[in-house]
Structure 1
Amino acid sequence: MFNFNVTKAAALTAEFLGTALLVMVALVMSETTGVSYFIATSLALALGVIVLFFGPVSGAHVNPAITFGLWTARKMGTLRAASYVIAQLLGGLAAWQLYEYLVDKSLPAKTVTFSTPVLVAEIIGTAVLAMGVTAAVVRKYETGQMAAAAGAAIFTGVLVAATASAGYINPAIALGLQSWSSVYVLGPLVGGLIGVNLYVWLFGPKAGSSKKK
């Protein structure tokens, strides 16, 4: 049972702060360079640092799609997953507000028309990220290994997704960047579901013989 004690409050705080930091990096890079390679590199470094900071506390999902995928694979309970998603979305909103305050200007809303290529790109990119994260979870990586795996996975996922989309592969980032389109929610959620469950199906029994007791 996910009781809201001090440990769980710390986990939610970690998800909020970690997501806010990741979204802030995405905001800065998107608004200053807009170059996919630099965005992917920055997000990879940022996620690695976030995992080192907050991984031991919450697992450092910092992405509703990852949390959703792990929930569908029964790697976490419903209340915990829902609480994580709320904390992550609040982190995205906080980063957006902080960025606007620091640069002293309002970010224009970006309305994106639903597009099948964008949807597919977001699904594939998020699935790549989700498989990397799930590998770390199933194989019980140490924090440093998890940081490296998460960083490499988001770098690859963002570059793959950027072939047809903005490469957010994270609904919290899309929220922070004010990209109002269901494609940036549906794509990552489907990708998270596919990536997590595909990894568990392919490698779970062999890779994680440390199984549930």
Structure 2
Amino acid sequence: MTTPTLSRRLVAEGLGTLLLVATVVGSGIMADRLSADTAVSLLGNTLPTGAILVVLITILGPVSGAHFNPAVTLVFWIRRDLASREAFAYVAAQIAGGLAGTVLAHAMFELPLVQASQTVRSGAGQWLAEVVATFGLLAAILGGLKHARQAVPWLVGLYITAAYWFTASTSFANPAVAIARAASDTFAGIRPLDVPAFVLCQAGGAVLALAVMSWLLGDALRDPEVA
């Protein structure tokens, strides 16, 4: 199978991250408008996010690998499945796509397009939760690639659906999504001041998952296509 050109892969990464963030932010706005119950709103935010991940990874995975996440790209760069130039381009496309997704969600709900979130997400519990959330996400991807490639979209979607509820941070597990959500003062937002710590914890969780899963599953983890 011919590898798609870098330009096509970057468009896929940007578009996928855009639609992912538009779903996260948009469903959060909709859920918050429809219910005064925070638990119900969180459920209304969770289910669309898990569902869109299954769709996006299935349709865009064959093009770019469907990272949509700098933490995933970091792991596959460390594994030398991506060259440095490609990895940096992927991350740039993901961040740009994520920010565009936030703007799109705001436009659909007739909100100011550019905002700064006031939602505080900080503290040891939140930081640990992001390490755990990202560790689990990468473990699901790496394990799925070895044992059940066709199931990876579902593994990721189901894992994120679960992690929304068992992590104190509601499982961002994605630096591009964290940056994009900082630009939305809505249900899904995160204060910009809190983003750097989240990103560091996400990177740490991703690298830890790579180390653990490489040992646990052996050397047969390397693969140029990651869902």
Normalising by structure 1, we get a TM-score of 0.84
Code of the residue aligned with 2:197 in structure 1: it is V
CA distance in 2, matches of 1:72, 1:63: 15
Deviation track 1:172-195 (CA, whole Å, cap 9, x = no partner) reads 222222221222211211111112
- What is the CA-CA distance between 1:12 and the residue it aligns to? 0.6
Paired residues, what number? 202
Code of the residue aligned with 2:212 in structure 1: it is L
Partner of 1:67: 73
- What is the CA-CA distance between 1:44 and the residue it aligns to? 1.4
Partner of 2:134: 126
- What is the CA-CA distance between 1:108 and the residue it aligns to? 4.2
Question: For the Cα contact (< 8 Å) 2:81–2:222, is it kept in 1?
Answer: no
Code of the residue aligned with 1:67 in structure 2: it is T
Question: For the Cα contact (< 8 Å) 1:70–1:196, is it kept in 2?
Answer: no
Against the structure 1 CA distance between its residues 134 and 6, is the aligned structure 2 distance closer, same or farther, given a 3 Å change threshold? closer
Which stretch shows the higher mean deviation, 109-118 or 166-175?
109-118
Q: Are positions 1:173 and 2:168 aligned together?
A: no
Q: Are positions 1:42 and 2:40 aligned together?
A: no
| Equivalent residue in structure 1 for 2:6, among 1, 8, 12 | 8
| Equivalent residue in structure 2 for 1:30, among 18, 28, 50 | 28
Deviation track 1:142-199 (CA, whole Å, cap 9, x = no partner) reads 3xx22122212222333332xx224222122222222212222112111111123321
Question: For the Cα contact (< 8 Å) 2:69–2:91, is it kept in 1?
Answer: yes
CA distance in 2, matches of 1:55, 1:61: 8
Gaps of 5+ in 2: 32-37, 183-189
Code of the residue aligned with 2:104 in structure 1: it is L
Secondary structure, aligned partner of 2:81: coil
Question: For the Cα contact (< 8 Å) 1:133–1:153, is it kept in 2?
Answer: no
Partner of 1:152: 158
Question: For the Cα contact (< 8 Å) 1:126–1:192, is it kept in 2?
Answer: yes
Partner of 1:198: 212
- What is the CA-CA distance between 1:28 and the residue it aligns to? 1.5
Normalising by structure 2, we get a TM-score of 0.79
Q: Are positions 1:58 and 2:72 aligned together?
A: no
Question: For the Cα contact (< 8 Å) 1:14–1:54, is it kept in 2?
Answer: yes
Aligned Cα root-mean-square deviation (Å): 2.4
